[in-house]
Amino acid sequence: MFFNSITFAIFLPIVFLLYWFVFNQSKKSQNTILILASYYFYSCWDWRFLFLLIFSTILDYTSGIMMGKYESKTKRKFWLWLTISINLGFLGVFKYYDFFASSFAEFVQGFGLEVQPYLLQLVLPVGISFYTFHGLSYVIDIYYKRIQPEKNFIDYSLFVCYFPLLVAGPIERATHLLPQVKIKRFFQYEQGIQGIKLILFGLFKKVVVADNCAFFVNQLFENHTNFTAVELWIGSFLFAFQIYGDFSGYSDIAIGTSKLFGIELLKNFNFPYFAKDIADFWRRWHISLSSWFRDYLYIPLGGSKGSKWYQIRNVFVIFLVSGFWHGANWTFIMWGGLHAFLFIPLLLVNKNRRNLSNVGYSYKDFPKIILTFLLVSLAWIFFRADSVSIAFDYLHRMLQFDSISIQFYIKNAKYILLSAIVFVSSFALLLLEWCFLKKYNGEIVLSKGMLFLLVAMLLFMGVYRNQLSFIYFQF
Amino acid sequence: MKQFIKKIAFYVLMSLLLFNGIAFLSLQILGKSNFYKPEFVKNTVIDTNFDYVVLGSSTGLTTLDTKLIDSITNKKGLNISMDDTSLNSHFLMLQHFKASNKSAKCLVLAVTPWDLKNKNPKLNNNDYRFLPYVQEDYVFDYYNELETKTFKPLSFSRYFPIIGVSYYNTEIFYPSIISFFNSNKRNHFDDKGNFCYPTNGKPNKLEIDEIEVVINNPFYFKIKEFCSQNNIKLRIYISPIFKTKLKIHDDSIIDQSNFLIDEEMFYDNIHVNQIGRRKCSIEFAKYLK
């Protein structure tokens, strides 16, 4: 059940009405209906994986209780590592086993040995990377006594399976979400209205911007050798818009949906294409994942403490792991590594924290914004390409300016129309976001007129006929 | 909560009214245009009686040039074929042709052997082109029968035009804007309904295939029945197919599948180019005479 599907458009109002009108007597009934709705939502993909989700919930819950029970560090450590091992074990089997097996076989073949790897070829349970990290943050926080273990199983289950964030985040923290599910929610008009606005804005990003870009991007990346350098450059920019529209659109819909149930989720994007450098970009892109890695990996590794070499090592570790988290493919590792390379120079000259706060923009920032966007777009090529060699070849062909033709984008009336839609919608998105940044300090504020315009663009420019899944569902 | 639901209901209602109004207008404009074949048949074709009409998919559209055939035979013909369609769409087009107060003595049904064999016809990619006429029962019934999912954007458009117009926005909404400013604009066909492929394509088949022509498609029988009820003589026509031999058990079928051998006459494996079209049309004129 995609957020941009008719099924969800029917599911959401039903759950909303049940939640506020039938099951609104107590926190317990509110949480119960949300859990049931979440399990139904998840089982729409593949009901068999529901057992995995429930098992993971029981494991993390039990582990939390056990860690809370013991004062002995050894026993707490045992439960922590047991939970981490099992959770990462599932992730490893479902997501990474085939990659490691085939990579090992290729490596050994390099020495002249013939090895046929045994591949599992399992279907990846949707959202596994998200809910695993969700649970891990909970048990790690308990281990370090940052939070108390949750004793109420219903409350904890909702923390793990809450449907707006279940399949693609934002990756929530127990410290943020659990206190909200532990109290009865009361409907707040402003929160509800803001939720609807966010849902519409998210749908616009996904259905209008991302899915129209996908029409060109898919063709370009499937057969990049047929296109000119200029067409490939445009393609890399279009993918930048596609992935942003797709993922931030999803996050907006998730946050907006959650607001309808009186629950606030963590912000996941903060206008990343207006970042002034790579470090700034990572403070704005997939914030819930970046901050997860910062808190549970980077800081335990020593973070920015210690010598420069240690800092560089830590930066590489966090970016490579972040890349690998996205998918079991060398392309994602390369993508992460490339971002580490782009980040290191800032670290070396101690400028990685210079744009920490949104201090506003001046005309001098525009070249920095454009340069950052350019670098990010080039790195996205590795993210999108099927293999590292294809990504390098794509980059190589981008530099061969033997023709400046953009025939691909205007080859017939349909292509001209879609090019125009892509251009207008991407431009409208940037303009809106710039307006939110400058005028409303990053708040998404949409007037009635803007909302009608968004709905009109959704209806007359959106992609419905060949509906596309969200890119991050595969992670 | 009450205030929230009231506000949402108000805006949903307003949006429904406004955007359904726009979608309705869009369908009206398109319905009175020449942009697609169904609209062309209804609005542009002035003649009401034809000696023959060619009805088919892209093979019918691009193989038989009714202008050339008419000049040879001195008959009055029209090409009402539509690309990316199959027998079920042809049946719909035939009903639409009749509903537009047009008649023909002979129907040349240009089909492929694969389409004739198909037992389970499905909605075709270009069937949305009849959407401006969804209020007509024959169009609505057709959509309703062939849209198999619970969500039926074409059928639902009878009551909420915005559903079909936004689902097929690039195919319906934008053409309606073009038609508003240029009502004579036709989408890739001439004033007799013909279109031809250029000479820059090539077939890419190495070995000769053998196909037996079997008629299983239920819509063929519907077309047959429709023709007999309306005194229309039905002739099946099979256009050239590169390196393919057909086993045909029915002598009444006009078979040109092997008529062209030279690959210079083809645009791809199943479509001829403008040179091939000329040869086929001249040969076809003999049958018509």
**Interface confidence (ipTM) of the complex:** 0.87
**Nearest chain A Cα to B173, which residue?**
A460
**Residue labelled with tokens 């990579």:** A103
Position of tokens 């590794």?
A: A301
Q: What is the CATH number of domain B48-159+190-288?
A: 3.40.50
Q: What is the mean pLDDT of chain B?
A: 93
Indicate the residue of B4, B11, B166 with minimum beta-carbon distance to A462.
B166
pLDDT for the residue A34? 97
Cβ distance of A455 and B4 shorter than 8 Å = no
Q: Residue A332 to residues A251, A290, A319, A345, B57: CA-CA distances in angstroms?
A: 21, 15, 10, 21, 45
Tell me which residue in A192, A414, A452 faces B170 most closely, judged by beta carbons. Answer: A414
User: Do the chains contact at B169 and A462, CB–CB below 8 Å?
Assistant: yes
Q: How would residue B55 be classed by pLDDT, with cut points 50, 70 and 90?
A: very high
Closest partner residue to A455 (CB to CB) among B15, B165, B169 is: B15
Query: pLDDT tens string for chain A (475 positions)?
Result: 888 888 999 999 999 999 999 998 899 999 999 999 999 999 998 888 899 999 999 999 999 999 998 888 899 999 999 999 999 999 888 888 888 888 888 888 888 888 888 887 888 788 888 889 889 999 999 999 999 999 999 999 999 999 999 888 789 999 999 999 999 999 999 999 999 999 999 999 999 999 999 999 999 999 999 999 999 999 999 999 999 999 999 999 999 999 999 999 999 999 999 999 999 999 999 999 999 999 999 888 887 788 888 889 999 999 999 999 888 889 999 999 999 999 999 888 877 777 666 567 788 889 999 999 999 999 999 999 999 999 999 999 999 887 788 989 998 888 999 999 999 999 999 999 999 988 887 888 889 899 999 999 999 999 998 777 677 666 6
pLDDT of residue A163: 94
Q: Does residue B110 contact residue B272 with C-beta atoms inside 8 Å? A: no
Q: Which of B8, B11, B162 is nearest residue A459 as measured by Cβ atoms? A: B162
pLDDT of residue A308: 85
| Residue of chain B whose alpha carbon sits nearest to that of A452 | B15
Q: What is the pLDDT of residue A437?
A: 86
- Token pair 């996904």 is found at A206
pLDDT recorded at residue A327: 83
Distance CA B65, CA B54 (A): 9
A170 upstream amide cis, omega within 30 of 0: yes
Q: Compute the nearest-CA separation of B133 from chain A (Å).
A: 20
Catalytic residues of A: 326
Mutation for testing the B interface, residue in A17, A415, A465 having most B CBs under 10 Å: A465
Residue of A20, A452, A464 lying closest to B1 (CB–CB): A20
Interior/surface letters A142-174, b for 16+ CB within 10 angstroms, e for the rest: bbeeebebbebebbbbbbbbbbbbbbbbbbbbb
- Chain A residues touching residue B151 (CB < 8 angstroms): 6
Distance of alpha carbon B239 from alpha carbon B259, whole angstroms: 8
Across residues B31-40, what is the average pLDDT? Answer: 94
pLDDT score at A359: 61
| Residue B200 near chain A (CB below 8 Å) | no
For A9, name the nearest residue in chain B, comparing CA atoms only: B151
pLDDT of B78 > 70? The answer is yes
What is the Cα Rg of chain B in Å? 21
Interface residue A93 vs chain B (CB under 8 A): no
Domain parsing of chain B, residue ranges: 48-159+190-288
B15/A452 CB distance under 8 A: yes
Q: Do A414 and B151 touch (CB under 8 A)?
A: no
Residues B80, B37: contact at Cβ < 8 Å?
yes
A289-325: buried (b, 16+ CB within 10 Å) or exposed (e) per residue? bbbbbebbebeebebeeeeeeebeebbbbbbbebbbb
Q: Which pair of structure tokens corresponds to residue A349? A: 């000259």
User: Two tokens at A58?
Assistant: 């029981």
Q: Is A11 on the interface with B (CB under 8 A)?
A: no
Contact yes or no for B7 and A187 at CB 8 A: no
**pLDDT score, position A119:** 83
Q: Where are the domains of chain A?
A: 18-186, 191-276+355-474
What's the pLDDT at A475? 61
Q: Which residues of B touch A414 (CB under 8 A)?
A: 170
Q: Which of B20, B162, B170, B171 to mutate to test the interface with A (most CBs of A within 10 A)?
A: B170
Q: Residue A356: its pLDDT value, please? A: 66
Q: Which residue has the tokens 């039905």?
A: B234
Q: B-chain residues within 8 Å CB-CB of A187? A: 1, 4
Token pair listed for A103: 């990579």
CA distance A138 to A63: 10
User: Is B170–A417 a contact, with Cβ atoms under 8 angstroms apart?
Assistant: yes
Q: Which two tokens stand for residue A168?
A: 């693609």
Q: Are the Cβ atoms of B151 and A6 closer than 8 angstroms? A: yes
B153·A461 Cβ contact <8 A: no
A262 φ/ψ sector (left φ>0, alpha ψ -120 to 50, else beta) = left
Query: Secondary structure of chain A in the HEC alphabet?
Result: CCCCCHHHHHHHHHHHHHHHHHCCCCHHHHHHHHHHHHHHHHHHHHCCHHHHHHHHHHHHHHHHHHHHHCCCHHHHHHHHHHHHHHHHHHHHHHHHHHHHHHHHHHHHHCCCCCCCCCCCCCCCCCCHHHHHHHHHHHHHHHHCCCCCCCCCHHHHHHHHHCHHHHCCCCCCCHHHHHHHHCCCCCCCHHHHHHHHHHHHHHHHHHHHHHHHHHHHHHHHHHCHHHCCHHHHHHHHHHHHHHHHHHHHHHHHHHHHHHHHCCCCCCCCCCCHHHCCCHHHHHCCCCHHHHHHHHHHHHCCCCCCCCCHHHHHHHHHHHHHHHHHHHCCCHHHHHHHHHHHHHHHHHHHCCCCCCCCCCCCCCCCHHHHHHHHHHHHHHHHHHHHCCCHHHHHHHHHHHCCCCCCCCHHHHCCHHHHHHHHHHHHHHHHHHHHHHHHHHHHCCCCCCCHHHHHHHHHHHHHHCCCCCCCCCHHHHC
Give the gap in angstroms from C-alpha A413 to the nearest C-alpha of chain B. 10
Give how far A23 is from chain B: nearest CA, Å: 15
Of B175, B220, B160, which Cα lies nearest the Cα of B35?
B175
A192 has a chain B CB within 8 A of its CB: yes
A193 CB within 8 Å of a chain B CB: yes
**Quick check: B244 and B257 in contact, CB under 8 A?**
yes
Residue-level pLDDT at A466: 77
B145-178 pLDDT, tens digit per residue, is 999 988 999 999 999 999 999 999 999 999 999 9
The CA distance from B215 to B205, in Å, is 25
